[in-house]
């Protein structure tokens, strides 16, 4: 006979598993959008109209980041050791690599953005990405087991540093 406790807990267990999986999917989607931003930025050779796809890619990164913030807020109060390790490893092989590449690619086009008056839009966009990244990171870090927290901070710090560096770079003359 199935215990009443198991029946009552089952939806929570399923939701928790689905939510961790969804957060991993959000990270994957975010990384794909960061890679698209890198590609669009690399293709940019100046001009206002040719900047539209790049700005669209920046918007896609932001929207996928917002989805990650939303889904990570729905994580249970604590996640398992294996889920925590899986999330940390996934960020480490995706966003921790691709985010700094995207920022460096943007930085390489600073003169072109400045020429079109888009440097302020890039700063604003990076500021929104930093705020979203911090919210997403905090939602996940507060749920990690204590022994996984330092690893989580380490892999996400790479992203924080890249975004902050990008903002400072575009704010400088």
Instruction: Specify the CATH number for the domain of residue 125.
Output: 1.20.58
In a domain, 6, yes or no: no
The whole model's pTM is what? Answer: 0.88
Q: What percent of the chain has pLDDT over 70?
A: 90
In a domain, 137, yes or no: yes
Q: 10: Cβ–Cβ under 8 A, 6 or more apart, which residues? A: none
pLDDT tens, position by position, 11-59: 555 454 568 999 999 999 999 999 999 999 999 999 999 999 999 999 9
In a domain, 4, yes or no: no
Q: What is the pLDDT of residue 19?
A: 86
Rounded Cα–Cα distance for residues 24 and 121 (Å): 29
Q: How many structural domains is the chain composed of?
A: 1
Mean pLDDT of 67-83: 95
Rounded Cα–Cα distance for residues 158 and 161 (Å): 5
The residue segments making up the domain with residue 34 are 18-171
């Amino acid at each position: 006979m199935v215990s009443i406790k198991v029946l009552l807990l089952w939806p929570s267990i399923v939701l928790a598993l689905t939510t961790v999986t969804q957060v991993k999917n959000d990270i994957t989607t975010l990384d794909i959008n960061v890679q698209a931003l890198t590609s669009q930025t690399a293709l940019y050779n100046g001009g206002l109209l040719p900047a539209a796809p790049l700005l669209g890619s920046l918007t896609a990164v932001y929207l996928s980041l917002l989805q990650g913030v939303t889904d990570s807020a729905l994580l249970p109060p604590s996640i398992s050791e294996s889920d925590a390790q899986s999330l940390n490893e996934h960020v480490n092989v995706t966003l921790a690599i691709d985010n700094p590449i995207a920022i460096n690619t943007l930085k390489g086009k600073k003169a072109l953005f400045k020429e079109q008056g888009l440097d302020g839009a890039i700063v604003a966009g990076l500021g929104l990405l930093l705020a979203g990244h911090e919210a997403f990171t905090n939602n996940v870090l507060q749920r990690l087991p204590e022994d996984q927290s330092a690893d989580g901070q380490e892999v996400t710090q790479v992203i924080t540093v890249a975004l902050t560096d990008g903002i400072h770079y575009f704010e400088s003359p």
